[in-house]
Amino acid sequence: MNKVEFSPSLMTMDLDKFKEQITFLNDQVDSYHIDIMDGHYVPNISLSPWFIQEVRKISTLPLSAHLMVTEPAFWVQQLIDINCEWICMHAEVLDGLAFRLIDQIHDAGLKAGIVLNPETPVSVILPYIDRLDKVTIMTVDPGFAGQRFIEGALDKIVELRELREEYDYHYVIEMDGSSNRKSFKRIDEANPDIYIVGRSGLFGLDDDIAKAWSIMVADYQEMTGKVLSS
């Protein structure tokens, strides 16, 4: 798990250039991150299973759905029906549902992930951590793009790496929120497996997606001193 992976948050892409941007990124990134918001768990309403199907028409990369919803069971089945590779649910709404929904995802041959808000400790997921394929640490409050980076949340990435090493868990560790030039060095020190990049880290850097990607790579390499492998 030494290779750093980047997963663009498609909520922040330029939808006027949907096909152009996805076609370019298909050769650069490892997966796509798709936020689904219901207007209840967070006040915004964002992407949907329909959007995932549209991405699937022009990409074969793994798609990861981030469910910011109050009723995860309703959405999990929809995502299973369209064969979304990763289904990631917020721990904060899973009391009494976690084991059932994780098993439901695995029984469909898909991967189950859990997302933790900045104030939610890793201890909340310990009862079922051994079943997880991914743990996502939010470094902003959920529901809005462009928020201020919450550096203290990165301590949970370190904690998750230590737990994975000690108990041989198989989950990957992902960070989500304000991943950009200003935060790359500190994120790198925490050492997640997957960086979610959105408006401030990628799509907002230039109107031309190829130029934006080059700027992002240069920013990462300058701030971390590491060269990205292809």
130 annotated among ligand-binding-site residues: no
Token representation of residue 31: 């997966």
* Nearest by Cα to 200 from 189, 185, 215: 215
Asked if 28 contacts 212 with a C-beta cutoff of 8 angstroms, the reply is: no
Catalytic pick among 14, 16, 30, 35:
35
170 annotated among ligand-binding-site residues: no
144 annotated among ligand-binding-site residues: yes
153 annotated among ligand-binding-site residues: no
DSSP annotation of 8 reads E
145 annotated among ligand-binding-site residues: yes
The span from the CA of 23 to the CA of 26, in Å, is 5
Asked if 28 contacts 213 with a C-beta cutoff of 8 angstroms, the reply is: yes
113 annotated among ligand-binding-site residues: no
The one-letter code for the residue type at 109 is G
35 in active site:
yes
Query: For the stretch 171-205, what's the b/e string if a residue is b when 16 or more beta carbons lie within 10 angstroms of its beta carbon?
Result: bbbbbbbbbbbebbeebbebebbbbbbbbbbbbeb
Strand partners, 38: 45
177 annotated among ligand-binding-site residues: yes
Catalytic pick among 38, 133, 176, 193:
176
Which DSSP string corresponds to 26-94?
TTT-S-EEEEEEBSSSSS-B---HHHHHHHHTT--S-EEEEEE-S-HHHHHHHHHHTT-SEEEEEGGG-
Binding residues for substrate, as ranges, are 66, 143-146, 176-178
Query: Which amino acids are annotated catalytic?
Result: 35, 176
Binding residues for a divalent metal cation, as ranges, are 33, 35, 66, 176
Binding residues, as ranges, are 33, 35, 66, 143-146, 176-178
